[in-house]
Amino acid sequence: MSKTKNDEAWEKLFEIYKIIPAIQREGSFEISATQINKLREARLMTKFDHRANLPKVFSDNKLSILPITRGSYVISPFEAYQELKDINAGISKAPFPEYLQSIDYDNISSESTAINCAFVSGIIADFVQDQNLLPTVSGRMSSNSFSFSIRNIATGKGMPVNVVNSQIEIDGGYEGYNYLTLIEAKNSISDDFLIRQLYYPIDYGRERF
């Protein structure tokens, strides 16, 4: 399999900054967007929604990367992905409002449309058992400052990660009397997902409830 531009750029970064030896000594390595941008745009070099998207140098060394500020990231052998289980549950049909013409539930081509369909048909309210949900938050924003522990694959122990105003994106947020429900949507079925896509927004919600 031929190497991608991300593969080649990350291999050079690992060589320039001696990332593997640094992780072996310290357990992790922090890298800035400025350093990454010298070889390729950081936005393209750090978005790995699934384990299969990781550059070869990451996969070969069982490494993952997480943002810790708006302009820096931490690289370490932590478990940043959660496998999705195949749940063979029964299918329940939900009624769709007949008067709606701006949404075609037979032709869902985007994550936002899928969320809107789930909301107007009552699927989200039924799932969280709250009939008083209203759409409140969505889009890109900054996280709060928070800390958490993530499992280090190499040691089997928890590794502390400190986050300060990292960018987060909420696909859909619905508030009811008791809960703020945050949704991460996918337009395809995958084997796993990047846990920060749920955990970072959850911390945003935790500060408000």
Q: Are residues 66 and 86 in the same domain?
A: no
pLDDT tens-digit map of 46-75: 999 999 999 999 999 999 999 999 999 999
Give the C-alpha separation, 144 to 125, whole Å.
Answer: 27
Q: Are residues 84 and 156 in the same domain?
A: yes
Domain boundary among 36, 61, 77: 77
Residue 123 has pLDDT above 60, yes or no: yes
pTM for this model (two decimals): 0.87
Residue of 195 and 188 predicted with greater confidence: 195
Structure tokens at 31: 């890298």
Domain boundary among 48, 77, 106: 77
Domain boundary among 62, 77, 92: 77
Q: 205: pLDDT confidence band, cut at 50, 70 and 90?
A: low
Residue 89 has pLDDT above 90, yes or no: no
Q: Are residues 161 and 97 in the same domain?
A: yes
Give the C-alpha separation, 50 to 85, whole Å.
Answer: 15
Q: Are residues 125 and 153 in the same domain?
A: yes
Bridge partners of residue 168, in order along the sequence: 141
Query: Which residue type is seen at 162?
Result: N
Q: Which has the closest alpha carbon to 198: 108, 97, 82?
A: 82
Q: Are residues 84 and 72 in the same domain?
A: no
Residue of 15 and 208 predicted with greater confidence: 15
